[in-house]
Structure 1
Amino acid sequence: MAKLSCRSLVGCCLGPPREGEAMDGVKLKVTSRYVIVKNDMFELTLSNPDGIVTGVRYNGVDNLMEILNKEDNRGYWDIVWNPPGQRTGIFDVIKGTEFRIIHHDENQAEVSFTRSWDPSLEGKAVPLIIDKRFIVLRASSGFYTYGIYEHKEGWPDFGIGETRVAFKLRKDKFHYMAMADNRQRIMPMPDDRLPPRGQQLAYPEAVLLVDPINPKLRGEVDDKYQYSCEDRCNSVHGWVSSDPPIGFWQITPSDEFRTGGPLKQNLTSHVGPTMLAMFLSAHYAGDDLSPKFTNGEYWKKVHGPVFMYLNSSQDGSDPSLLWEDAKVQVMMEKQNWPYDFALSEDFQKTEQRGCISGRLLVRDRYIIEDEDLYAASAYIGLALPGEAGSWQRECKDTNSGVKQMQMVAST
């Protein structure tokens, strides 16, 4: 069976330590154009002060990001927003204007790229202070990112239609996509979506593959919405390269910062090859899940952290090996939530959080007349007080988490 690399193993582009050789830890280099963070497993390059992921070096490949794209179109945070009365959203790639080192030692580096707002930007930029953070840990095969959004009291009113992180990988390497055990396959190339290889159908996202590069895909319809997923099942998705065998995965360890509850559908990965971490969107729900900020109200929220996980194997013929390893990594990330290494004071640590325990029982006389049943397929969620069902529409504040009850513990 192929050996898989994970957070504690090696096999990456920087070269595995020799037997008996200690790992060097996390290194940080800052130049006028780039911020480079690396450990013994991979290297992350960010533009300075924009905070765009321009490069990821791993397992002998100099850059896993799409090198044919401009640097600001590889790995980025974005937001769709609108001023009051304007229904059409404004798409904005979030570029920082100030870079800071939050922390750096041999075990961890956390860096910040912040974009502020002032009245001269009214109507031109979303009225938010946005602080994008990136974290690299020692002996960790990947990096974390999270963002702190803040709207000051008295600032202009606005609404948010969507905010996310997008990663665009190399189309010459990443051809296999996986988002569930039963939803993974060889994907079309982005070129297949363009005329004359592709024919647009009823809306721009849906394209008939008329003459795809891979003839086996001829006659199929490609549409990024085909790969949407309910958030309760949306913990990991991503892409696999066969040469060399590399997986690039987006792992979301908690639902507490995503809006809409466990049944809310969101985009995942799609042809590009593109990989998304969705935090807030109106997809499949409409305006109810687009938060509005009126009367100059104050608002602050943390989105993430999410984890971009890299793994590799010695056998490129079976991409499911990397998928199975990514699922194991998901469990590790969930067990470590809430992360104690995210250093923003706005991200609440374990000691700042409460907990709830008990049993949820259901009496259904059509099944058993006089006995209570464990609610084994139910969901338990903590949210702000409100009308029945309002937790599905609440989209400004952080939920305390929604979890499916695998086991009901006694009080």
Structure 2
Amino acid sequence: MYGIFKRRKYFPHTYIHQLRIVFKLKEDKFHFMALSDTQQRIMPRREDREHSHCQVLAYPEAVLLTNPINPKLKGEVDDKYQYSIESKDNKLHGWIADHDAVGFWMITPSDEFRTGGPHKQDLTSHVGPTALSMFVSNHYMGKFYKEGVAWKKAFGPVLIYLNSATFDHAHRYRKSLWKDAKKRLSKEIKSWPYSFAASKDYPHADHRGEVSGQLQVRDKYLHKQLMKAKSAFVGLAAPGRAGSWQTEGKGYQFWTQTDRAGHFSIKNVRRGKYNLYAWVHGFIGNYKLDRNVSVHPGHKKNLGTLIYDPPRSGPTLWEIGIPDRTAAEFFIPDPNPTFVNSILNHEGEKFRQYGLWDRYSDTYPHHDLVFKVGASNYSRDWFFAHVPRRTGNDTKATTWKIKFKLQEVKKSGKYTLQMALAAANFAEVQVRINTPDGSPHFTTNRIGYDNAVARHGIHGLYRLYSINVPGKGLRGGNNTIFLTQTRCKDEFMAVMYDYIRLEGPAV
């Protein structure tokens, strides 16, 4: 299945919130859902989300099952956002009809047509039983596609695959159906781009090109020699500023990861003009090649060795977290025992449990978070999301403190606070140096629409702020940085930090 969408220049301005293929399966047959090797379960029924069977929680998508048809599910939370997956991994999901030992699978061998790049998260399957192939959405991102320009785009093809197995009461057929679906996915990936498509809007392999090269990183404060950009994400997307691929949707995107030496090869690229983008695990910022890359059918283009100079003003004095564009390394609390989804009872998806934002007030009942550089541990002492504090039925702004010592301070020197955000939703972070009150030294102003906290995502859109800190504002000895998330009309106005680093003056 596929869809081809065309917008003429004279069409009125509009938003496209969702483009998707949706299958509503037989409710009396399909009860078992599979998203991955570890995420498989008997699911609630559609009726379980009706008023007499559940309690609606903080928003309509999330319910507590109080009287489900299957009594084993009583006391669990169901929320479609708990089943979200990043585009790069969102290739196979589906349902099994137990009594018939039949599987229904949505297979997506390529994500070149999806919006927002490889890390864009989106829905998969949820109660209904419902199976989705998402082409466009504003989930974990915000609105886009509002412009008076012409564009045309082919979404898909995606494969709807059905399989069957011999029924047995030990449910071994579930494993057999899942294994067969994974085998079929591998076959489809090898077959991409498909040769059967007749539309001129879908080029076959001989009408595509290839781009290769090697990416290295230059950061003299970490290493005197160039460093190999190991496992970096490298991609071709529409021309724009560095990082613009996160919110781009009208064109196609082609991504790969580098090998241990930083080499990359991006195959089966449609004809067109692109920018080459990248980001490297362990380094802040976004890379963009300073020239356009033109791809022609049947041509292989080697860009040679490319050098990424990540943002850096001076040596590292201290750092919190890992530059990986997520908040996954920070403290993710156990869910409230009242609000648990058993499909998420493994470490990899712990952050998708319901209500974790509310655990901040439980973890810090009397004062806000204080992180002491050199003594605190970010995996234990840095909460994964900077959220408002719950006070009865109200919420209020919170201020986190970073305490650190400097042996000496160059009063005329320029220090830099590198603050990378993994997500933001109607939030504002104000930064103050050694004084908790008065005008902020820096503010992000109001930012973000990704709603990653409510949607159980460990990241939304990546942002980086390089904040100038004059030496005269620091002290020899004890210092404190105050981070205030000022907006607090509801618990979901929040940010997630990716990484924070204080740099000394250049040497």
- TM-score of the pair, normalised by structure 2: 0.49
The alpha-carbon deviation at position 156 of structure 1 amounts to: 2.5
Distance 1:406 1:270 in 2: 36
1:311 aligns with 2:311: no
> SS at the partner of 1:158?
coil
Larger-Rg structure: 2
1:320 aligns with 2:195: no
Q: Which amino acid aligns with 1:191?
A: E
Give % identity.
Answer: 52
1:396 aligns with 2:250: yes
The alpha-carbon deviation at position 312 of structure 1 amounts to: 1.2
Cα deviations by residue, 1:237-281 (Å, 9 ceiling, x for unpaired): 111111111111101111111001111110000011100000110
1:339 to 169, 194, 200: 194
Alignment of 1:43-58 (within 5 A): none
Structure 2, gaps ≥5 residues long: 266-301, 303-507
Q: CA, structure 1 residues 300+215, in 2 after alignment: closer, same or farther (shift >3 Å)?
A: same
1:242 aligns with 2:98: yes
In structure 2, the residue matched to 1:355 is 210
2:241 to 387, 397, 409: 387
2:85 to 205, 229, 234: 229
Q: CA, structure 1 residues 337+151, in 2 after alignment: closer, same or farther (shift >3 Å)?
A: same
The alpha-carbon deviation at position 371 of structure 1 amounts to: 6.5
The alpha-carbon deviation at position 157 of structure 1 amounts to: 2.6
Q: Which amino acid aligns with 2:255?
A: V
Q: Which amino acid aligns with 1:291?
A: Y
2:30 to 174, 181, 188: 174
Task: Indicate conservation of the 8 Å contact 2:8/2:150, yes or no.
Answer: yes
Q: CA, structure 1 residues 157+357, in 2 after alignment: closer, same or farther (shift >3 Å)?
A: same
Q: CA, structure 1 residues 406+186, in 2 after alignment: closer, same or farther (shift >3 Å)?
A: farther
Distance 2:259 2:122 in 1: 23
Q: Which amino acid aligns with 1:284?
A: Y
1:274 aligns with 2:130: yes
Alignment of 1:56-205 (within 5 A): 145-205=1-61
Q: CA, structure 1 residues 409+265, in 2 after alignment: closer, same or farther (shift >3 Å)?
A: closer
TM-align CA RMSD: 2.1
In structure 1, the residue matched to 2:146 is 292
The alpha-carbon deviation at position 154 of structure 1 amounts to: 2.1
2:154 to 269, 288, 302: 302
Distance 1:170 1:301 in 2: 32
The alpha-carbon deviation at position 374 of structure 1 amounts to: 5.3
Distance 1:253 1:189 in 2: 29
> SS at the partner of 2:88?
helix
- TM-score of the pair, normalised by structure 1: 0.60
> SS at the partner of 1:285?
coil
Cα deviations by residue, 1:164-221 (Å, 9 ceiling, x for unpaired): 0000111111111111112111111111111211122221111110011111110111
Task: Indicate conservation of the 8 Å contact 1:363/1:373, yes or no.
Answer: no
> SS at the partner of 1:277?
strand
Cα deviations by residue, 1:139-172 (Å, 9 ceiling, x for unpaired): xxxxxx0111112232333221111000011111
> SS at the partner of 2:192?
coil
Distance 2:58 2:227 in 1: 50
Distance 2:226 2:243 in 1: 28
Q: CA, structure 1 residues 406+315, in 2 after alignment: closer, same or farther (shift >3 Å)?
A: farther
The alpha-carbon deviation at position 366 of structure 1 amounts to: 8.4
Count of aligned residue pairs for this structure pair: 261
Q: Which amino acid aligns with 2:209?
A: G
Distance 1:321 1:270 in 2: 22
